Each structure stands twice: as structure tokens, then as C-alpha cells.
Amino acid sequence: MTETEAAADLRRAGDVLAAEAARYASFGWMRGTTGNLSVVLDRDPLRLAVTASGLDKGELTASDVVLADGDGAALGPGTPPAEAGLHARIAQLTGADAVVHVHTVASVALGYRQPGGIVFKDLEMLKILGHPAEDEEITLPVISNSQDMRVLGDRLEAARDPRMPAVVVAGHGLYAWGPDPRKARHHTEVVEWLLELELAGR
């Protein structure tokens, strides 16, 4: 791939991520400059487009993304978010091509209340995650937070359930993923709906 083609790919990814970020920001899930999104551009070696650090996620443009490697380190101009390394780890572990990280009240509150994981069963919305609406329990893992993305990645790897495309980081927020940004969005929105229902005390 030429340098011009790589730049065009990054810009296209930036267009998509800016639109997705604006959607999440409109829900109040990316307040201020919090949260981050990524999309895989290449897997050999792993290369990610990640929303840049320190920017209002409701006002991103196509140029507000950073090219990062498999460790989350920048490969070009801009500063990737501190969590870029975890985005890369999730992409490697799950095969996902898009990762969403949002800071929602429900995810933080339930991470404190149910540190052993949050169990869902007999809910129609589970069908969006590929599970029957009856007679199957599925657990959303909760892991303790760390500022070290390698440590956090190890915790996620140990706790994750391949049937659940999401994890809660206690005191921090929700990570969800999927094969493309649209599917990752659906997973994020459905898991957040389940969390809000649980928080309401169903």
C-alpha cells in the first residue's frame, strides 16, 4: 500500500469514527473529552485508527484520529488515548475490527455493585447479542481498573466470555466491540440498555 493510499484509509476511518463519536456524545456517554473509539486498518502487522486524546468527542473531524500500532503507540502525528493499548489487545484477542469505550453512569455504578459480573437472562434484547430471549444466562464480566493497559488487558483476557462482546471496567466504564463500527455500536447500545435496566432494579 502506498503512503497516499494509507492516508486515504486513515481519513476514511476518521470520517466513520467522528460520526460514531458524535452519536455517543449526544447520549451523554462521552462527556467532555472522555471515551475513545478505534477501527482496525490492517492486521499484519496490527494497525488501528484511534480517536485522538484530549478532544471533545462530539466535535471530531476526519483528521482527529491517530494511527497506532499493536501496542497502542502512535505511528504518526497526534496523541493516542491512554487506552489505545487496550483497544489493540481487544482486537487481537477477539478478532474484532472496531472497539468502543464509553463512560456511562450505569456501567460504573453496576461495576461497583456487582464486581463478580452482571448476569442477564430472559430478556428480548439478548437476541441482538446472538442469544435466545429465554433459558440462557449470559454474564457481562467486570474487571478491576488499572492505569497499566497491559495489566488491564491481562484481566480482560482472563475474565472475558466469548459469548459477550463487552466488558465493564470498574470505576471506569464500558468497552464493547464488533466486526465493524456499526455492529460494535449495536453491541454498545444493547449492553448499555441492559445495564440501565439492571440499574433500575428490574
- Cα–Cα distance, 36 to 45 (Å, whole number): 22
3-state secondary structure of 13: helix
pLDDT tens for residues 139-173? 999 999 999 999 999 999 999 999 999 999 999 99
As its CATH architecture, domain 3-199 has 3-Layer(aba) Sandwich (3.40)
- What is the model's pTM? 0.95
Q: Domain-by-domain residue ranges, the chain?
A: 3-199
pLDDT tens for residues 21-32? 999 999 999 999
Question: C-alpha dihedral over 94, 66, 74, 67, to 10 degrees?
Answer: 60
pLDDT tens for residues 86-132? 999 999 999 999 999 999 999 999 999 999 999 999 999 999 999 98
Q: Quickly tell me which residue has 468527542 as its cell.
A: 57
Contacts of 21 (CB under 8 A, 6+ apart): 30, 35, 37, 51, 57, 58, 60
Contacts of 71 (CB under 8 A, 6+ apart): 85, 88
